[in-house]
């Protein structure tokens, strides 16, 4: 069989794999390489450097992201305009291998006529205009809110460029349903991840946990909401943990004897918290894409308490305890306080996760769709 080569254009340097879609990019290329695909990785670099860990790819190219003000003023969405690169086009023209664009961010190449005969696919990590509209709704700073709303409008008009692609790979059933209404050849390929099997602990934990990157507005607002409306009402220890919490969030948590805020835990500390909690409590206002911290909680934690937005379109509803109002969440957490997490629960969860999020199966799906 001839060697299979694939260009992957990443919107950021996918190492370390420590946030959102970058986790998907990193483990996708890793599993494709494991299956014998020679990955030519192209990364837009703006602060994460050129890590040696990516040298396992067949080759790696880096391009500077053009993050200047000029790209805000163009009709093209900023996340796309800032990732234009003549050098990227030149490198892609050196062969006729298929191309995978990670996110709308990297789809500028679809405008280039020199690539019109190439097989080009798009990984849709979100319905981007919905994502940016919801980001705008939760953004407290006026100038940033206006920018996000403008970006959402631009993304809505720009999205149709993906008609020029040969296929769209989605991450959730909800996103799949949306794209199928507008485009052809839409295939659900759930997010790649670092987990091979459920590794949760049996028994009973002694605290409830919310975790996330607390410098992200969406997560900071979720943490504040939980502290004010849920955790402060419980007679049970609760922990909020994550990167770069604001001073205001730390002060809010400090007002309650049963709540501890852990700022900037190491990866090992975070995983220990996640595994030893009685329940991982995850809420969001944004029913977009897949929240990869949900996968982490289901693979490694005990009970998972979520609101409907957190699991929208993921197929994971049956593995979680769901509640949307403060009173309903409080009641559910009180019911869980002394409930043992059993080996039978781990086995049930492992079976369900393998059906949806098996990296090997999903790599085979991609290979079949791209190479036939």
Residue 131 belongs to domain spanning: 4-194+358-371
Q: How far apart are CA 298 and CA 199, in angstroms?
A: 9
Residue 13 contacts by C-beta under 8 Å, 6 or more apart in sequence?
Answer: 22, 43, 44, 45, 48, 49, 50, 51, 54, 62
Mean pLDDT over residues 244-260, rounded?
Answer: 96
Yes or no: say if 126 and 137 are a contact pair by the CB < 8 Å rule: no
pLDDT at 1 over 60: no
DSSP string, 86-118: HHHHHHHTTS---EEEESGGGGGGGG-GGGTTS
DSSP strand E in 4-113: where?
A: 4-10, 37-45, 59-64, 99-102
Tell me 258's DSSP state: T
- 162, 130: one domain: yes
Q: What is the pLDDT of residue 125?
A: 94
Q: What is the pLDDT of residues 99-112, one digit of tens each?
A: 999 999 999 999 99
- Residue 14: both structure tokens together: 């996918």
- 305, 363: one domain: no
Assess if residue 144 is contained within a domain: yes
pLDDT at 129 over 80: yes
Q: What is the pLDDT of residue 289?
A: 65
- Kindly state the percentage of the chain with pLDDT values over 90: 86
**Number of residues assigned to the chain:** 372
Q: Are strands 37-45 and 279-282 parallel, antiparallel or unpaired?
A: unpaired
Residue 74 contacts by C-beta under 8 Å, 6 or more apart in sequence?
Answer: 81
Residue environment code for 278-304, b if the CB has 16+ CB neighbours within 10 A, otherwise e: bbbbbbbbbbbbbbbbbbbbbbbbbbb
36: alpha, beta or left, given left = phi > 0 and alpha = psi -120 to 50? left
- Residue 274: both structure tokens together: 């996640």
Assess if residue 157 is contained within a domain: yes
Query: What total number of domains does the chain contain?
Result: 2
- 37, 162: one domain: yes
Q: Are strands 279-282 and 259-263 parallel, antiparallel or unpaired?
A: unpaired
Assess if residue 76 is contained within a domain: yes
Residue environment code for 13-45, b if the CB has 16+ CB neighbours within 10 A, otherwise e: bbbebeebbbbbbbbbbbbbbeeebebbbbbbe
Residue appearing with tokens 């009685």:
278
- Residue 330: both structure tokens together: 């409080």
Tell me 339's DSSP state: P
Enumerate helices (H) and strands (E) in the chain, giving the number of each.
14, 13
User: For residue 167, what is the enclosing H or E element?
Assistant: strand 167-170
pLDDT at 366 over 60: yes
- Residue 87: pLDDT band (50, 70, 90) is very high
- 229, 327: one domain: yes
Q: What is the pLDDT of residue 279?
A: 98
- 175, 224: one domain: no
Assess if residue 199 is contained within a domain: no
Of 45-54, 146-155, 222-231, 282-291, minimum mean pLDDT range: 282-291
Assess if residue 45 is contained within a domain: yes
Yes or no: say if 4 and 371 are a contact pair by the CB < 8 Å rule: yes
- Residue 179: both structure tokens together: 């794209």
Q: How far apart are CA 251 and CA 271, in angstroms?
A: 25
- 162, 231: one domain: no
- 137, 90: one domain: yes
- 100, 49: one domain: yes
Assess if residue 352 is contained within a domain: no
Mean pLDDT over residues 133-154, rounded?
Answer: 93
Q: What is the pLDDT of residues 332-364, one digit of tens each?
A: 999 999 999 999 999 999 999 999 899 999 999
Tell me 54's DSSP state: G
Alpha helices in 35-84, H assignment, sequence order: 78-81
- 170, 223: one domain: no
Mean pLDDT of the chain: 94
- 37, 151: one domain: yes
Give the 3-state secondary structure of residue 360.
helix
DSSP string, 124-160: ESS-HHHHHHHHHHT--SHHHHHHHHHHHHHHHHHGG
Mean pLDDT over residues 261-276, rounded?
Answer: 94
DSSP strand E in 204-271: where?
A: 208-211, 238-242, 259-263
372 vs 70, 101, 220, CA distance in Å? 41, 18, 44
- 169, 300: one domain: no
Q: How far apart are CA 45 and CA 82, in angstroms?
A: 11
Q: What is the pLDDT of residue 285?
A: 86
Assess if residue 151 is contained within a domain: yes
- 49, 97: one domain: yes
Assess if residue 351 is contained within a domain: no
- Residue 70: pLDDT band (50, 70, 90) is confident
User: For residue 306, what is the enclosing H or E element?
Assistant: strand 303-306
Give the global pTM.
Answer: 0.90
- Looking up residue 42, the CATH number of its domain turns out to be 3.40.50.2000
């Amino acid at each position: 069989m001839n060697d299979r080569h694939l260009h992957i254009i990443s919107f950021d340097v996918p190492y370390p794999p420590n946030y959102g879609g970058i986790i998907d990019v990193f483990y996708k290329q890793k599993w494709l390489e494991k299956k014998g695909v020679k990955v030519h990785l192209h990364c837009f670099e703006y602060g994460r450097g050129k890590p040696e860990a990516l040298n396992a790819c067949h080759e790696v190219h880096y391009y500077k992201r053009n993050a200047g003000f000029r790209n805000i003023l163009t009709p093209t969405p900023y996340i796309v305009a800032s990732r234009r690169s003549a050098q990227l086009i030149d490198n892609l023209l050196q062969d006729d291998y298929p191309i995978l664009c990670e996110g709308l961010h990297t789809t500028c190449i679809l405008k280039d006529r020199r690539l019109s005969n190439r097989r080009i696919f798009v990984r849709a990590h979100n319905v981007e205009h919905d994502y940016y509209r919801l980001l705008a709704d939760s953004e407290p700073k006026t100038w940033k809110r206006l920018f996000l709303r403008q970006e959402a409008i631009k993304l809505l008009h720009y999205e149709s460029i993906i008609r020029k692609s040969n296929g769209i790979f989605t991450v959730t059933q909800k996103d799949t349903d949306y794209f199928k209404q507008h485009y052809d050849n839409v295939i659900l390929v759930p997010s790649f991840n670092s987990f091979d099997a459920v590794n949760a602990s049996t028994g009973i934990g002694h605290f409830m946990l919310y975790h996330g990157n607390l410098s992200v507005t969406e997560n900071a607002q979720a943490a504040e909401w939980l502290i004010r409306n849920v955790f402060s009402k419980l007679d049970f220890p609760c922990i909020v943990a994550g990167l770069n919490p604001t001073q205001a969030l730390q002060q809010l948590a400090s007002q309650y004897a049963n709540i501890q805020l852990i700022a900037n835990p190491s990866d090992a500390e975070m995983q220990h918290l996640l595994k030893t909690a009685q329940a991982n409590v995850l809420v969001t206002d944004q029913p977009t894409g897949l929240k990869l911290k949900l996968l982490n909680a289901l693979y490694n934690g005990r009970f998972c308490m979520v609101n409907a937005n957190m699991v929208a379109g993921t197929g994971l509803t049956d593995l979680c305890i769901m509640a949307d109002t403060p009173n309903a969440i409080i009641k559910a957490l009180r019911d869980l306080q002394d409930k043992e997490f059993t080996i039978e629960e781990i086995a049930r969860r492992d079976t369900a996760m393998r059906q949806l999020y098996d990296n090997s199966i999903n790599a085979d799906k991609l290979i079949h769709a791209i190479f036939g």
